[in-house]
Structure 1
């Protein structure tokens, strides 16, 4: 490895799942908590660990730092014909308060058939799958048909500005020849009326992290004040939090809901979209967020003494808007804020969607069905944000494909950034086998 700056079908000779569980545990044990500021350990230790794993099987890596400790890794493997495929996973995780957990969130403990720990589903499980498959194939001398570029990034949990964006802005030559990219939050199963549906991410909401500000007249807390910044801001925050956003169906969700409607014996329409989403059982809460724009107040700040009315009050809002509905989102937000509350962006990233009828998606579909013949594969739109937003600036089509066959009663969406994050051991092994098949066909 070299520091650069500071700014298919499973063959009989290898087992693609042999290391996946232990690699996931080891990655979880490396604390890469990202607090979204200058605090936290950074990703350097994890990037060096990944580099050592690749070095062991003859794959050279380059480490890139946007600033000290904020480390991403890029490696290239295989010299087959065709345009390279980018596989990207992030190394950072959101923080975890140990006192809230049943186990130490950085222990990688195995309990009740699960690997527990921060990052188990977001997204050190995918990192472990990719590394397990690549290492098994490299040892066996079975490269994929097309070249692979591996990219393990810093800072995704804070918008990717110090990771994927830094790579795109400063080291695009490493990845610019990739035309397709595969990353997190897709390929996992959910259950509808006893049937497993595997969701491939083919689209993603846009992100608007916003700081709202209201200004008023400062004064004594005992006196009448009709120009109170806190009152003005609180009204706007309450309106935003209570707003019922209308249902809007994007192409990916139209296809997914049509699949569900077929199982339920009906047709998919905007009028019954919420009813069809409820068929997803444990995944309904997550999927309910991708048939509409959303905006959730997340932080409040004002004042410094109980008897002083402050001049300024602030709030932060996490806004997510559907592809094609950005103008509607911001027009509605302006109405909800009113004339006396302004906003600025902490981070704004565009939504995206990729074509679903492609040979790459067909490879995903066939690799899942080879391991689960009774499954159904369909596209969906993801509510959160990923590094795909940055890589797409170079013209790549993007997909989320981290395959997991999950228990019917597991609320998978609640595990992202949640307490007691965990992934089933057998789901990790399933995912590695599927991903191995995928690389053979991609």
Structure 2
């Protein structure tokens, strides 16, 4: 006699939880003095878990900079535990630029709007919805699941995941694999075929400051040694520069498979021809075939009629696996010998293979909910808390399942204006995550 299938997890609660989280302003400015709300969000998560009998621990790295960790016991404690992690902080949002207030959690036109809707309070809500249903119905996962809701991911994780790894690594005892952002989202090929991109690699982070020095003086004088002029010229060269194309194994696998499915030719020597035909995901994939360096901040001067002696600029650099030394040599040649380089934040790229039982479970869960699903590996152009957790020897994947409308420019919503998540996508994610965690 066959065992009856487990009843599907209810999906209504995920919308309520996600809306609650969006209404907690957890803006991370990068400055502990002006960041807000992470402790409130961690306490909200702790309360939702406590309501169904799950104990959790809130860890503060500094006043208000709070992360939360909980463990759900599995039926086989001898197996390696699975880490499921999501961050609670969000990047700043200017309400004047948005259709709806960014921290109002508006429901409109089939979407839930708000800063963090897809980065990544949607996944936080999915995890809570699944765990709460399991606790109410007596379901136990096949192995221990460690939940981590972290602070400070948007500023590199020093007050969040890296603090947990450095100071509280015992909370992750036994963890061998992990899922977090950004992966498991759909890319529509046709009515009956959708690719779901699973993150198996991500670029490294290297946040740099450039400094120039010059002779100070009066703003009314002729002046040939201006720190701002020297800095501006260097920054302009960086901002306009395209670094050489480098196709890594993960990106090659993705482009090869996508090309076959789309019926187009993939030329490894000119991958941009293929990427240009990928529609909404082209911008995200295009950033994974070369190193990038984007100027993001400028600082100089203290008075209109004073030429300063020093000027500074910040670069957000994202480095492909194996390219760190080459990138720095190329950057030095680009900016010239007289510009000082200061390393502000440096985290290495990560990469794993696209195989094994966990990958099989992801694919099976997606196909169970969407028979038109097909999984492919890809590289994330940004960085996540996986950079911290991989230091513990944990194999990390990006798997936050979402089925998206075919015409939605998903990548533009990350740190963008009018960030929003489709309600049906949230509910889809709960069903997939429930199935995945039962089978993993």
Q: TM-score range by the shorter chain?
A: over 0.9
8 A Cα contact 1:13 1:140, kept in partner: no
Aligned-residue offset at 1:198: 0.8
1:77-134, CA deviations, whole angstroms, 9 ceiling, x for partnerless residues?
0232211000000011111111111111111111000000011000000000111111
Q: Distance in 2 between matches of 1:301 and 1:293?
A: 25
Q: Does 1:84 align with 2:81?
A: yes
Instruction: Go from structure 1 to structure 2 and tell me whether the alpha carbon gap of 1:316 and 1:227 turns closer, same or farther (over 3 Å shift).
Output: same
Q: Does 1:75 align with 2:70?
A: yes
How many residue pairs match? The answer is 434
Pick from 150, 166, 171: which aligns with 1:169? 166
8 A Cα contact 1:192 1:280, kept in partner: no
Which residue of 1 is the match for residue 424 of structure 2? Answer: 426
* Partner SS, residue 246 of structure 1: coil
Q: Does 1:398 align with 2:396?
A: yes
* Partner SS, residue 19 of structure 1: helix
Moved over 6 A (4+): none
Pick from 232, 253, 256: which aligns with 1:255? 253
Structure 1: runs of 5 or more not aligned: 1-8
Aligned-residue offset at 1:307: 2.6
Which residue of 1 is the match for residue 122 of structure 2? Answer: 125
1:334-359, CA deviations, whole angstroms, 9 ceiling, x for partnerless residues?
11111111111221111000121111
Q: Distance in 2 between matches of 1:12 and 1:441?
A: 11
Which residue of 2 is the match for residue 210 of structure 1? Answer: 208
Which residue of 2 is the match for residue 415 of structure 1? Answer: 413
Which residue of 2 is the match for residue 224 of structure 1? Answer: 222
The TM-score with structure 2 as length reference comes to: 0.96
Pick from 299, 315, 325: which aligns with 1:327? 325
C-alpha RMSD over aligned residues: 1.5
Q: Does 1:158 align with 2:152?
A: no
Q: Distance in 2 between matches of 1:58 and 1:10?
A: 27
Which residue of 2 is the match for residue 51 of structure 1? Answer: 46
1:353-380, CA deviations, whole angstroms, 9 ceiling, x for partnerless residues?
0121111111111111111112221010
1:123-174, CA deviations, whole angstroms, 9 ceiling, x for partnerless residues?
0000001111111112111111111000000111111000111100111001
Which residue of 2 is the match for residue 138 of structure 1? Answer: 135
Q: Does 1:27 align with 2:28?
A: no
Instruction: Go from structure 1 to structure 2 and tell me whether the alpha carbon gap of 1:14 and 1:437 turns closer, same or farther (over 3 Å shift).
Output: closer
Q: Distance in 2 between matches of 1:32 and 1:196?
A: 33
Q: Distance in 1 between matches of 2:262 and 2:423?
A: 31
Pick from 372, 375, 381: which aligns with 2:370? 372
Aligned-residue offset at 1:271: 2.4
Q: Distance in 1 between matches of 2:201 and 2:6?
A: 36
Aligned-residue offset at 1:220: 2.1
8 A Cα contact 1:10 1:433, kept in partner: no
Q: Does 1:96 align with 2:93?
A: yes
8 A Cα contact 1:232 1:340, kept in partner: no
1:313-343, CA deviations, whole angstroms, 9 ceiling, x for partnerless residues?
1100100001111111111111111111111
Aligned-residue offset at 1:35: 0.8
Q: Distance in 2 between matches of 1:192 and 1:249?
A: 23
